[in-house]
């Protein structure tokens, strides 16, 4: 009977210690999840003002235009962005760019405006990451005569 009482005491002690370990582990997991959800995760996509012109002479078409854009990664880690350039509804370029957490990618982009374009036309750049699409654009208009 004494052995049975000792075994029961040992079993209760083991259960008590296991419960303490489970509570501590649960608290650690809960704290981590609260911390993780409080982290902001976003990106910034922008076109530098002054690196493009809003006007183009239609008699010079087709003509190459250029602009400079940037992507700043404020996500929780390194990300691969799918970058697409549109002229109106037509995608003219697409590429993937890896940007490390906290870093900025900048690039001068060049596209050709074809002869048969209808003005005004939106020049749009999109950056897709983790299911979120960021967009920046400017309007290209025909030079007034």
Put the strands of the sheet holding 104-113 in their side by side order: 43-47, 63-73, 104-113
pLDDT at residue 11 in the model: 81
44, 106 contact by CB (below 8 A): no
Q: How many helices (H) and strands (E) does the chain have?
A: 1, 8
Contact 129, 99 (CB under 8 A): no
Which tokens sit at 122? Answer: 């939106």
pLDDT value for 9: 76
- Identify the CATH number of the domain defined by range 43-142: 2.60.40.10
Compute CA distances 134 → 16, 46, 47, 78, whole Å.
Answer: 52, 9, 12, 17
Helix (H) or strand (E) holding 4: helix 2-38
Q: Give the tokens for residue 90.
A: 């037509």
Domain boundaries, the chain: 1-38, 43-142
pLDDT at 32: 84
In the block, residue with structure tokens 């990300």? 79
**What Rg value do the Cα atoms of the chain yield, rounded?**
29
- The mean pLDDT of 26-42, rounded to a whole number, is 80
Please tell me whether the peptide bond between 21 and the residue prior to it is cis, using omega within 30 degrees of 0.
no
Alpha-carbon distance values, 66 to 58, 71, 107, 109, 110 (Å): 16, 17, 10, 5, 4
- pLDDT tens track for 98-136: 999 999 999 999 999 999 899 999 999 999 999 999 999
């Amino acid at each position: 009977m004494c052995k049975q009482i000792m075994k029961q005491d040992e079993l209760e002690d083991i259960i008590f210690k296991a419960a303490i370990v489970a509570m501590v582990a649960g608290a650690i997991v809960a704290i981590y999840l609260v911390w993780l959800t409080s982290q902001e995760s976003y990106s910034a996509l922008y076109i530098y003002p002054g690196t493009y012109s809003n006007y183009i002479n239609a008699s010079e078409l087709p003509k190459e235009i250029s602009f400079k854009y940037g992507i700043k990664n404020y996500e929780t880690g390194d990300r691969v962005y799918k970058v697409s350039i549109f002229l109106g509804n037509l995608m003219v370029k697409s590429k993937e760019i890896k940007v490390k957490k906290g870093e900025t990618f900048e690039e001068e982009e060049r596209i050709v405006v074809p002869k048969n374009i209808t003005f005004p036309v939106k020049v749009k750049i999109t950056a897709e990451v983790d299911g979120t699409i960021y967009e920046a654009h400017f309007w290209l208009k025909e030079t007034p005569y």
